[in-house]
Amino acid sequence: MAKPTPLSGFPEWLPAQRIVEQQILRIIQDTFELHGFAGIETRAVEPMDQLLRKGETSKEVYVLNRLQATEEQDSSKDKQLGLHFDLTVPFARYVLENAGHLAFPFKRYQIQKVWRGERPQDGRFREFYQADIDVVDAGELPFHYEVELPLVMAEAFAKLRPLGVPEFKVLVNNRKVAEGFYRGLGLDDVEGVLRNIDKLDKIGPEKVAALLIDEVGASQQQAQLCLDLASISGSDETVIDRVRELAAANNVSHELLDTGLDELGALLRSASRRAPGTIEANLKIARGLDYYTGSVYESVLIGHEDLGSICSGGRYDTLASDGKNTYPGVGLSIGVSRLVSRLLSKNIVTSSRSVPTAVLVAVMDEEHREDAQAIAAQLRARGISTDVAPVAAKFGKQIKFADRRGIPFVWFPAGVNQNGEQITHQVKDIRTGEQVEADPTVWTPQEQDLIPAVRAAE
Amino acid sequence: MAKPTPLSGFPEWLPAQRIVEQQILRIIQDTFELHGFAGIETRAVEPMDQLLRKGETSKEVYVLNRLQATEEQDSSKDKQLGLHFDLTVPFARYVLENAGHLAFPFKRYQIQKVWRGERPQDGRFREFYQADIDVVDAGELPFHYEVELPLVMAEAFAKLRPLGVPEFKVLVNNRKVAEGFYRGLGLDDVEGVLRNIDKLDKIGPEKVAALLIDEVGASQQQAQLCLDLASISGSDETVIDRVRELAAANNVSHELLDTGLDELGALLRSASRRAPGTIEANLKIARGLDYYTGSVYESVLIGHEDLGSICSGGRYDTLASDGKNTYPGVGLSIGVSRLVSRLLSKNIVTSSRSVPTAVLVAVMDEEHREDAQAIAAQLRARGISTDVAPVAAKFGKQIKFADRRGIPFVWFPAGVNQNGEQITHQVKDIRTGEQVEADPTVWTPQEQDLIPAVRAAE
C-alpha cells in the first residue's frame, strides 16, 4: 500500500511526544486522585436522543452505523448511537443510571477522548482528550466545592510547571452577579445580555453596546453599565468593592447580585490564602452554556492567550434530574489535547527519550543473549526499565542504538568482551562517557534517570 | 428524563470496579514499560479502505457519519471513516506513516478501546479494552523476540496474581511446524487444514477428520496424522521429540517442519529456564488469521477455560509494507475487558474502596473548614490521597461518610471538639477503631493503605 497520510483533526504523536502527553496526563490524574476524586470511564457512545438534549445540536456529532446492519436494525431513531462530544453529558447519564449505587456527594474524574465533527483548525480537533472533575450531590451541593474545584485545577497546572508548561491562571465570574446586576438594571433578557457580552473579545465594546441596544432592548446607559461591569477584574477582594460601588452609584440592587458577590468574594478570599495569584475574578466571563447557575470558570495559559480557555466549567443547579431527584454539580474540564498540541507544535516541552528505557544491556554474541536477559531481569526487578540489544552487533553500534532513543545507560555484561578481554560488569553513562564497574543486583540509576525527563525545550 | 438503562455490549463499571480495572491496566502498562516498550496511541478511526483490508470484512465495523454533513461531503468512499476493531491495523498504518521518524526494531505498546458491532454475548463486547505489545523491524526481525514477547505477557499476569487474578498460561505453536508437517504429508491446502483443526475444541476429532477428508481431500490416514499432531502438548522439550517421532514413523519430512521444531524447541527451552510452567506447547493452536508465519500464541486463565483465549497473537512476516520496505513483526494482545468483566461478574477480585482516598479530614464546624483543608494539603504534599468532609455534620455521620467509601482513616483536627473538649490532632483507623494522636506534618499511613487494596474476594 502507499504511504498513508494523517487525517486532519485527528492528532497522533510520535513516541517521544506521547511520553510528554503521558506524563502530563499522569500528573493531572494523580492530582485528581490526591484530592479524592474517583476515576470513572463511560462508554464512547450515547443514544442520539441523549446527545441532542440541551440545545447542543450545534455540536457536530458523529453518528454510528454498523457496516453490515440491515436498514431495519438501525432505522429506529431511539437506538441510534453517536460518539460523545464531551464528558458532561455521559456523566449526567451515568449518575442517573447508577444513582442507587453511588455515594453522594460524588466526586469523580474522567479522562477520555471525545469527538466532534467540526472543521479542524489550530487548537480545535475532531478527536481530543478531556480531563474532567465534577462534584455532584443529590438535592443540595455545598458552595465550598465552587472554591475547591478551580484550586484543584490550579494545583494540577502548578505541578506541570517543572515540565515546562507555561503559567496558568483561572478566571472566575459568578452568574448570580451578572444576572442580579442586569435584572437590577431592568434588563430581564439575561441570556441575551450574556450572549453578547461573550462577544467582547471578538468584536469589541462598541459593537457589543450596539447589539445590546438593538437585540436586547437596552438603553444607551444600560448598555454602558453592562460594559462597565464586564471591565472589572482582579485577584483580590477590591473587585467586589468595585462592583458594589458601580451598582450603588447607579441604584442597581438585586438579591441575586448580593448573593453572587458574597460567593465570589468568599472564593477570592479563600483562593488568595491557599494558592495566591492563581485565581482572578473577571466579570466579563460569560460562558455560552445556559445551564450554569453560579461560579463560572475559564482559564489562560500565560503567553498563549490566543489558544483560548484550556480549562473551563462552572456550577449548575441541575446536572441531571430523573423527575424525583435533582443533582446539582460543579465541574471543570481541561482540554488536554489542545494544551499538549501547543506544547509540542511550538517546541515548548520535550522528552529526553522516545522510549521508557533507562538501561540497554549489550549482547556480546548471540550465545550470551540469555546472560544479558538475566541482567535485564535483575534490573527490572528493581523497577528499572531495561531493554536488551536486538542483535549482537559491535558495541559501538549497540551504543548508537541506545543513543538514538535517548537511553542514558548501556550495560556491558561480565565475560570476555569483543576485544577478547575478560571484563567485569560495567555500566556506561553514554551522556558523559563515564564507565564504571557495577553489580546487577544492586546498581540503580539516580531517580531523575529512571523515567524520561520531560522538560522545557532549550 | 427517565432512568437510563445500560447499552448491551458497552460495559461500564461502578467506581470500586473501575479501581480494579485501573490497577490491572496500570500493572500491565508498567510491565510493558519495564521491558522498554514505547507507548503510543492511535486515533480511534481509520479510513474504511484500511479497515476492510486483509479479509477482515467479517468484523462488524462501526461506520461514522457526521450528523450535519451534506450527502456530498460524506459520499466519497475513500474518505469514509470507521472505528478501529483492533490495534494491529492502526499500528501497521502508523508504522508506514511514520517510518521515517521511528527507530527500528520498534517495540511499542498500545492500550486502547476498540469497537466491534457484533452481537454482544458473555465475554464479547462491542466496546472493549485491548492491551497490545508488538515488535516490528524493517526488513528482518530476529527470532528471539518470539521468545521475549509471550514471556512479557506471562510476567504481567504473574504480577496480577496478588490481586486475585487466576493463574495464566500461554499456549504456543509454530505455523512452520504445522505447515511443514502437512506439506510433508502431502497436504498442500495448509489453510484448509488449519481452518478445520481450529474447530477441534468445538466439534471434536471425528467431525474434524470428516471435514479434512471431505473438504481438504485428505485420506483417512492423513487426516488421522493431522489429528495425532494436534493432540501433542506439553511444557518441556519432549514435545519436540514426540513430533519428530511421529513424523519419522510416518516418513513425513519437510524443511519447514525442521525449522519450526527448532524454533519451538528454543522457545520452550528458554521459557522453562526463565519462567517455568508459564508456557506450554500445544500443537492444535491454529489461530484463524492467515498472516501468521511463525510462532502463534493463545492463552488460558486456569479454571476459566470457557472464557477462551484472553491473550493471543503471533509472528507475521509482513505486518506492513509500502512496496519499498517490508516490516515483519510479532505481537500479542490482551483482551482486558474480557478479563476484567469475568473478575468482576464472578466476584473474583474486589477493591477495598470506591475512591482513591486514604484519609478523610473531619470538619468541626463550617468556620473551621479551612483548618481541615490546610491539614488535607499537608497530607497531600506527602502523596496521601485526602478528602475533606462535605459538611460539618456530627462526627458519627462524618465517620459513616468514610466507611461507606472504604476510606480507612478519619482525621480529627486539633481544637475544641464537638463535645466541647480541647483535643490535639488525632487520627482514627475506622477499621480497628484505634485512635491516636498524630502530627499532620509527619504522619503517614502504612504503604498498603495508601491506595485501595485490590484483592481476591473472600
Q: Which of B22, B31, B35, B77 to mutate to test the interface with A (most CBs of A within 10 A)?
A: B35
**Residues B430, B436, B437: CA angle, nearest 5 degrees:** 135
List, as one string, the DSSP characters of B321-367: E-SS-EEEEEEEEEEHHHHHHHHHHTT-EEES-SSS-SEEE--SSGG
Average pLDDT over residues B9-19: 97
| CB proximity B65 to A under 8 Å | yes
| CB proximity B352 to A under 8 Å | no
| CB proximity B3 to A under 8 Å | yes
Q: Which of A42, A52, A67 to mutate to test the interface with B (most CBs of B within 10 A)?
A: A67
Task: Give the strand order in the sheet containing B409-412.
Answer: B386-388, B359-361, B409-412, B426-429, B435-437
- Decide if pLDDT at B257 tops 90: yes
Cβ atoms A429, A137 nearer than 8 A = no
Are A39 and B50 inside 8 Å of each other by CB? Answer: no
pLDDT (tens digit per residue) in B185-227? 999 999 999 999 999 989 999 999 999 999 999 999 999 999 9
B272, B153, B148, B102: which is closest to A389 by C-alpha?
B148
Lowest mean per-residue pLDDT among A259-263, B148-152, B320-324? B320-324
Please report the pLDDT score of residue B320 as a whole number: 85
The nearest CA of chain A is from the CA of B383 a distance in Å of 7
| CB proximity B144 to A under 8 Å | yes
- Decide if pLDDT at B71 tops 80: no
| CB proximity B120 to A under 8 Å | no
Query: Cell 479530614, residue?
Result: B361
In this complex, the residue of B4, B377, B380 whose CB is nearest that of residue A96 is B4
pLDDT (tens digit per residue) in B223-250? 999 999 999 999 888 999 999 999 999 9
Please report the pLDDT score of residue B75 as a whole number: 47
Report the amino acid identity of residue B283.
Answer: L
In this complex, the residue of B127, B322, B390 whose CB is nearest that of residue A142 is B390
Question: Which run of H or of E encompasses B228?
Answer: helix B220-230
As given in the structure block, the three cell numbers for residue A94 are 451515568
- Decide if pLDDT at B299 tops 60: yes
Are A391 and B115 inside 8 Å of each other by CB? Answer: no
A64 contacts on B by Cβ (under 8 Å): 62-64, 83
A128 contacts on B by Cβ (under 8 Å): none
Please report the pLDDT score of residue A60 as a whole number: 83
Please report the pLDDT score of residue A51 as a whole number: 87
Q: Which of B8, B12, B391, B409 to mutate to test the interface with A (most CBs of A within 10 A)?
A: B12
Residues 39-58 of B with CB under 8 A from A: 39-45, 47, 50, 53
B321 contacts on A by Cβ (under 8 Å): 1
Cis peptide bond upstream of A105, omega within 30: yes
Contacts of A72 (CB under 8 A, 6+ apart): none
- Decide if pLDDT at B73 tops 70: no
Share of chain B above pLDDT 90, in %: 83
B389 contacts on A by Cβ (under 8 Å): none
- Decide if pLDDT at B54 tops 90: no
- Decide if pLDDT at B111 tops 70: yes
pLDDT tier at B55, thresholds 50, 70, 90? low
Residue of B nearest to A68 (CA): B60
B422, B427, B436: which is closest to B386 by C-alpha?
B427
* A&B contacts, CB < 8 Å: 227
Report the amino acid identity of residue B351.
Answer: S
In this complex, the residue of A127, A144, A355 whose CB is nearest that of residue B369 is A144
ipTM surpasses 0.90: yes
| DSSP E strand boundaries for B3-143 | 38-39, 45-47, 62-66, 81-83, 106-115, 127-136
In this complex, the residue of A12, A323, A384 whose CB is nearest that of residue B43 is A12
Please report the pLDDT score of residue B120 as a whole number: 76
Mean pLDDT estimate for chain B = 93
| CB proximity B79 to A under 8 Å | no
Please report the pLDDT score of residue B50 as a whole number: 83
All residue ranges of chain A with pLDDT < 70 are 1, 54-59, 68-78, 122-123, 288-290
Give the global pTM: 0.96
pLDDT tier at B77, thresholds 50, 70, 90? very low
Q: Which of A24, A30, A42, A68 to mutate to test the interface with B (most CBs of B within 10 A)?
A: A68
The nearest CA of chain A is from the CA of B205 a distance in Å of 33
Residues 148-167 of A with CB under 8 A from B: none
